[in-house]
Amino acid sequence: MRFFGRGHGACPGCGLTIAVRNVLEALEGKCFVANPTGCLEIISSQYGKNAWGVPYIHSLFDNVAAVASGISEALKAMGREDEGKVVVFAGDGATADIGLTLHGMFDRNHDVIYICLDNEAYQNTGHQQSALTPLGEATTTTPVGKIMLGKMGRKKDMIAIALAHGSPYVATSSAVLPADIRRKVKKAAGIVGAKYIQIHCPCVTGWGIDGKEVVKVGNLAIETALYPIVEFENGKLLTVRKLKDRKPVEEYLKLQRRFRHLFTNPEGKKIIAEIQRIADANALKYNIDLKK
Amino acid sequence: MKKVVRGFYSVAYAVKLCRPNVVCAYPITPQTEIVENLAEMYANGELENCRYITAESEFAAASILVGASAAGARTFTATCSQGLILMSEVLFNAAGMRLPIVVANPNRALSAPLSIWNDLQDSMVLRDAGIIQVYVESNQEAHDMIPQAYKIAEDKRVMLPFMVCLDGFKLTHAHEPVDLLEQSLVDEFLPPYRPEVYLTTKKPVAFGCYAPPNIYMEFRVAMQRAMERAQGVIEKVFREWAEFSRRDWGGHLEIVYPESRNFVIAMGSLVGLLRKVVGELRKEGLSIGLVKLRTFRPFPFEDLRRVLGNAEKIIVIDRSVSLGYEGNLSIELKSALYGLSPEIISMILCLGGRDISKENLEKILRNAVLGKEGSGFKGYIEFEEVVP
């Protein structure tokens, strides 16, 4: 708790705080944190209740990649690079929707570790859909109604976008895999350039799960291949978390209020089948299934 | 060393002399050549301890400077018009975080309709941002203003962004003889930037904490007080500059013919033409003086009350308008002179690069003093509007 924690206001079981603590500990607190508006900012940076034990800046919702790039360049200009790494903690909305400056950071390859804390919607403001909300999820802006059953689009593939920019290190992880987070952050810290790590972070309130179910639900996202855990260096796939007995997506979906309608609405079956197709495609793409 | 240079270079070269750590911008006419000049200096290794970054937008450029400035770097950007208002979200934020970023803004009109030409509408949008705004008349004044801008913005009593406004095209593209400063003089005048608080792992602090209702207002009060203190700091730095450079540009105001009964007040390069026009009108026997307003924020209302409080008539020349009301400077001046009795005639001229001839300006000012010309837009062609 040296680098993050004292006084933060996250919900019990919040995936974000697990991820953040592990990132900061992997870097031994030698880092500068840039954080856009969102859940993490609200729970950690109220004036007088700052929970950060590392230098921290919150500027706006839509500019964190540029702010981090500016810190990184300033440290270079002033010969202070040894002080620490520049790390972004951004939500999925601030990354995949309104994060206008992310492509510039990738393009110029600023020395930044960009961590996307993916809880799959705007949870801070009460669960509105983002570009990383998956198919079928009921949010307050993609509600379940007579003609619509939650989000009808796909989850944006930020991994492909990061790779297309030529990012030297791109990985996914999950708040339920602390050792994996630490290893990947340490690896990223040794690589120069704009790194991207997307960490799946269960959200108890938005997803409609109990705090004690966080690890189970987080693991099921991996075990169904809905959230492949992968790692690329210089565009080359390095590691994939393989599965012996991949589970059907229903096991993951049925535990969460955000997908409950898929099991009660007669049209829900079709959407579950589509979600299963997405999981199957992920498994095929990354060769996730171990041969029996 | 006196050289004939364009406005772009007079700004860029002054920025170089101020030893910035991070320069970041996005091209936009008529700003581009300022950062092109800096890019060339960077490419030739002439900017020491500096990173020059070509951002993907003005929004990103300002955001990069927020990070850099918070990390303790001296920063510079140039933009205008659409670029300035694209930056506006970030610039309000930078002011709130008390980051002394210096921005050169070659004033340009706002779209629609699209216009790359000059008026002052763009910087007026940033009026309430907590950014110091100074308007210059010539490229020499622009050149001299850059080191002063850093010194004022970085003063511990101020710590606010600073925008140097110079007329797009009219100054930026003009070739003028400019006495380019010596590095040694700027080094002596402007100490290195050493903020009290900045991002460092040696002493972690948080920038940009959010403020609930129990504390937000105090932050805004502190900004207002910094602006109030800036009035004094600006005057002091302007005086200091006059001694250092032996070029005295005046204070918040420059008053020409202070004993006059009537005055014309304006900002920026138009003042150059007004000097001639006022001189001609005085030859005709009219009692008219000229007030050049240099500092627009903080607004020097006490100086204006002192200088203009007893005038009979004040002709305000605006090159921007608050649509639905009147010219921006006119609004400010009326507020500053509240309770005093000069008659104020508010004229809006030269929008979107529309020129005004010396003869025409003479005519409308003469008529205004003689009571034959009232407030409103001047120098446009009357047209029939089709309202369906």
Angstrom CA distances, A98 to A37, A130, A132, A155, stand at 11, 9, 12, 15
Of B190, B224, B245, the position where a domain reaches its end is B245
Q: What is the CATH number of the domain that holds B100?
A: 3.40.50.970
Q: A116 and A157 in contact (C-beta within 8 Å)? A: no
Give per-residue pLDDT as tens, A106-127. 999 999 999 999 999 999 999 9
What value does the mean pLDDT take over residues A158-185? 98
> Which residues form the domain of B293?
253-377
Quick one: B191 and B316 in the same domain?
no
- List CB contacts of B387: < 8 A, sequence separation 6 or more: none
Confidence check: pLDDT of A1 > 60: no
Q: What is the pLDDT of residue A100?
A: 80
* Structure tokens, B128: 């309430």
Quick one: B217 and B259 in the same domain?
no
Tell whether A76 is covered by a domain.
yes
SS3 A257: helix
Give per-residue pLDDT as tens, A255-269. 999 999 999 999 999
Q: What is the CATH number of the domain that holds A111?
A: 3.40.50.970
Confidence check: pLDDT of B365 > 70: yes
Give per-residue pLDDT as tens, A29-48. 999 999 999 999 999 999 99
- A71 at B interface, C-beta within 8 A: yes
Q: Would you give the distance in Å from CA B19 to the centre of its chain?
A: 21
Tell whether A22 is covered by a domain.
yes
Taking CB atoms and an 8 Å cutoff, what residues of chain A touch B208? 45, 57-59
Taking CB atoms and an 8 Å cutoff, what residues of chain A touch B199? 32, 55-57, 71
Quick one: B335 and B235 in the same domain?
no
d(CA A268, CA A273): 9
What value does the mean pLDDT take over residues A230-241? 98
> Which residues form the domain of A272?
15-286
Q: Which residue from B337, B372, B66 is spatially nearest to A57, judged by alpha carbons?
A: B66
Tell whether A116 is covered by a domain.
yes
DSSP secondary structure letters along B167-217: ETTTTTT-EEEEEPPPHHHHHHHSPPP--SS---TTS--EES-B--TTTHH
What is the percent of chain A where pLDDT is above 90? 97
Q: Would you give the distance in Å from CA B359 to the centre of its chain?
A: 27
Quick one: B270 and B219 in the same domain?
no
Q: Which residue from B152, B175, B156, B177 is spatially nearest to B164, judged by alpha carbons?
A: B152
Q: What is the pLDDT of residue A121?
A: 98
Quick one: B110 and B22 in the same domain?
yes
Of B226, B245, B264, the position where a domain reaches its end is B245
- A82 at B interface, C-beta within 8 A: no
Q: What is the pLDDT of residue A6?
A: 78
Helices B216-245/B139-153 angle, 10° precision:
130
Tell whether A1 is covered by a domain.
no
Residue A215, min C-alpha distance to chain B (Å): 31
SS3 B318: strand
What band does B138 get if pLDDT is binned at 50, 70 and 90?
very high
Tell whether B332 is covered by a domain.
yes
CB contact under 8 A, B49 and A57: no
Tell whether A201 is covered by a domain.
yes
Q: What is the pLDDT of residue B1?
A: 86
Tally the domains of chain B: 2
Tell whether B366 is covered by a domain.
yes
CB contact under 8 A, A59 and B63: yes
Tell whether A142 is covered by a domain.
yes
Tell whether B385 is covered by a domain.
no
Q: What is the CATH number of the domain that holds B315?
A: 3.40.50.920
Of B210, B245, B280, the position where a domain reaches its end is B245
Average pLDDT for chain A: 96
Quick one: B182 and B311 in the same domain?
no
B67 → closest Cβ in A50, A57, A107: A57
Residue A165 DSSP label: T
Q: What is the pLDDT of residue A53?
A: 96
Quick one: B23 and B121 in the same domain?
yes
CB contact under 8 A, B71 and A66: no
Taking CB atoms and an 8 Å cutoff, what residues of chain B touch A29? 201
Quick one: B261 and B221 in the same domain?
no
Among A64, A85, A88, A101, most B C-beta atoms within 10 A, so best to mutate, is A101
Angstrom CA distances, B58 to A113, A130, A268, B25, B28, stand at 23, 25, 45, 6, 9
- A157 at B interface, C-beta within 8 A: no
Taking CB atoms and an 8 Å cutoff, what residues of chain B touch A48? 209, 215
